[in-house]
């Protein structure tokens, strides 16, 4: 590794350690403190001047997380589809190989979606 690269890595490493320490120290020094007698009003959540109706730490159904993970999964797969479609014409001789590869990819995607629907993962109660 060249000497200039080593210095750059060392500087980034030192900054990566010092900046969080500095921020945590500043927050501890200048952050809000509860002065005087601690009352329930001082510990109450304040957001936009509206009194909260429910506890912010309530539990969510596992279905919510399942749908979120499935959304991310299928969204990432579509993100792979767009660049392939853009460069498909430029593939020339390998276009049949690329086309069959994409058909396999889409087949697996549709099979996965059919499995998710059959298992009832997208049904909301």
68 contacts 57 by C-beta, under 8 angstroms: no
| pLDDT tens-place string over residues 51-98 | 777 776 778 788 888 888 888 888 888 888 888 888 877 776 667 888
Residue found by looking up tokens 């049949």 in the block: 96
Cα gap 49→44, rounded to integer Å: 12
| pLDDT tens-place string over residues 13-59 | 999 999 999 999 998 788 777 666 777 776 676 667 777 777 767 78
pLDDT of residue 111: 92
pTM of the model as a whole: 0.49
Mapping DSSP to helix (H, G, I), strand (E, B) and coil, where does residue 125 land? coil
Lowest mean pLDDT among 16-25, 96-105, 109-118: 96-105
Cα gap 88→85, rounded to integer Å: 5
Cα gap 46→55, rounded to integer Å: 12
């Amino acid at each position: 590794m060249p000497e200039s690269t080593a210095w750059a890595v060392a500087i980034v490493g030192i900054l990566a350690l010092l900046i969080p320490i500095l921020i945590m120290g500043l927050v501890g020094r200048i952050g809000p403190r509860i002065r005087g007698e601690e009352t329930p009003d001082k510990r109450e959540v304040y957001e936009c001047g509206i009194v909260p109706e429910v506890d912010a730490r309530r539990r969510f159904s596992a279905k919510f997380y399942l749908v979120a993970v499935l959304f991310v999964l299928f969204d990432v797969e579509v993100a792979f589809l767009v660049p392939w479609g853009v460069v498909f014409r430029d593939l020339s001789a390998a276009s049949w190989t690329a086309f069959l590869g994409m058909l396999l990819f889409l087949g697996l995607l549709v099979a996965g979606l059919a499995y998710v629907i059959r298992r009832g993962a997208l049904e909301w109660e």
